[in-house]
Amino acid sequence: MLTENLLFSLNASMPIVLLMIFGYICRKVDLLDDHTTSKLNKFTFKAALPALLFKDLSTADFRAVWDGEMVGFCVIVTILSVAIAVVYSLFHKDKAERGEIIQASYRSSAAVLGIAFVNNIYGESLMAALMIVGTVPIYNIIAVAVLAATSPDKKGESKKMLFFDTLKGVVTNPIIIGIAVGILWSLIKIPQPAIMSKTVGYMANMATPLSLIALGASFKVEEAKSKVGITVGICFIKLILFCGIFLPIAINMGFRGEKLVAVLVMLGSATTGSCFVMVKNFGHKGTITAFAVMLTTICSAFTLTLWLFLLRSKGYI
């Protein structure tokens, strides 16, 4: 069982690592430069990622499987996770980097890894979609607010202007728009013509590989060396602490099987590559975020395996 879970986790995480390494190599051999990487980030942020979220959410039948307790739990835990991340960021002296620390600490690969992970174990399941409804909108709204407030481009701006700029950033954020339209589409049950679904599918399929290649191409080893301590802390919070605190609560609430696996992915999966796309689009350096994505992705193959093994050995999944 342990070997099976390890292989499953490695199969989920190693392609992500390899794509980041590929991007790094592309930069080294001059296949990608700063300008091209920046354009890739913008395209992913404004087109590919919204298409991915729309695709996942617009085809889910939320009416059939709606579970208010599950969604409510995900919402509350996400907010508490953000609070823990904020406290951790306060120990870092550079205020401009606190936004990166907060987002990298709380934001999981819920949309991409969550569905794949649950479906791999249980077949077609909408529990991951319910988890996404309870987490991804909050992930993005808080990320926009935090990254806008700590953006180097916003220094010297009045609190009133900062508030309105942040509000505008939330309302016009392409990822949030993709989520909102996807959920609305699902609830209204608008049929999708084959031409539309295939086109959206092609766009969605580009999101993850492009964001990871751009992340790898932007990664600077020299700058990352000074961020080892803070990034190891992010890795511990992301992969161990959240699961240690909130998984027992989920179990006591009666979550079992696919629900519990969806919660596990929400709490203990790697920092998503879309974090990097977000920080770059708000003017941050992205060094901490890139390092956190790489480190948590590698480590999550083993920590997720450990959590799965523990949950299975106790008969919870």
Residues paired with 308 in a beta bridge: none
List the Cα angle 154/156/161 in 5-degree steps.
65
Report yes or no: 85 and 237 within 8 Å, Cβ to Cβ: yes
Burial annotation 63-99 (CB, 10 A radius, 16+ → b, else e): eeeebeebbebbeebbeebbebbbebbeebeeeebbb
pLDDT confidence of residue 146: 86
Three-class DSSP category at 38: helix
Cα R_g (the chain), whole angstroms: 19
Structural domains of the chain, count: 1
Report yes or no: 102 and 146 within 8 Å, Cβ to Cβ: yes
pLDDT confidence of residue 209: 86
> Domain containing 35: what range?
2-313
**pLDDT tens digit at each of 317 positions of the chain:** 567 666 766 676 678 778 888 998 999 999 998 889 888 888 988 898 889 888 877 877 767 667 788 888 988 998 999 999 999 999 998 888 999 999 999 998 766 555 556 656 665 556 666 777 778 778 888 888 888 888 876 655 666 676 777 777 778 888 888 888 988 898 888 888 999 999 999 998 888 788 888 878 877 777 777 889 999 999 999 999 999 999 999 999 999 888 888 888 889 888 987 888 888 888 888 889 989 988 888 888 788 878 888 888 888 87
- Distance separating alpha carbons of residues 27 and 37, to the nearest angstrom: 9
pLDDT confidence of residue 122: 63
pTM of the model as a whole: 0.80
* CATH assignment at residue 283: 1.20.1530.20
